Structure 1
């Protein structure tokens, strides 16, 4: 029973955080609730275990895909290395509450 509750909460939390919240689009949430309620009275423990594993695997897949997208964005794949470094410095400065000066305007004035 604890496994069922744990997988159920993990799946709902993943959908809420990674796909869409219940307020924005209740379809995913309603589908998960419906599936868990429909299979709640399953008597075949092997089938129940397979369904729980499938739900857990799906939630983990959604989380991993989201994490991979964040990694790719953090690496700025496809951007010039100088632009990538500038972008990373700007993000780091923003994280600590600083703002970098506009260097493009300063470079144009010096020329």
Structure 2
């Protein structure tokens, strides 16, 4: 495989694992991607299609997260705690524990 094809192969496998999952009952998605890449390693059209599909998977996931972040009706206190905790941890701090009687 050329370096471009290998990069696209890694990108689409990462996208499938991240957005579809790697559980046993979902392993046929990963197996299909591996089989198709081994079957058509030199096809430029197939490589472009795989690159576009990986981009589509990542874009759909980002779009869903964006829609969720704008949904006001959902209680997002846990998500905000997680985001603030990650922000604080990035500069070496921790959030204080809130007293719950």
Q: Does 1:74 align with 2:69?
A: yes
Report the counterpart of residue 105 of structure 1 in structure 2: none
In the comparison of the two structures, how many residue pairs are matched? 89
Q: Structure 1: which 4+ aligned runs deviate by more than 6 Å? A: none
Report the counterpart of residue 91 of structure 1 in structure 2: 79
Tell me which structure has the larger Cα radius of gyration. 1
Structure 2's unaligned 5+ residue stretches are 86-94
Per-residue deviation at 1:88? 4.7
Q: Does 1:57 align with 2:52?
A: yes
TM-score (norm 2): 0.72
Matched position secondary structure for 1:21: coil
Distance 1:100 1:73 in 2: 29
Per-residue deviation at 1:100? 8.7
Per-residue deviation at 1:74? 0.8
Residues 38, 93 of structure 1: CA spacing in aligned structure 2 closer, same or farther, 3 A cutoff?
A: closer
Q: Does 1:27 align with 2:28?
A: yes
Matched position secondary structure for 1:25: helix
Per-residue deviation at 1:63? 0.4
Per-residue deviation at 1:22? 5.2
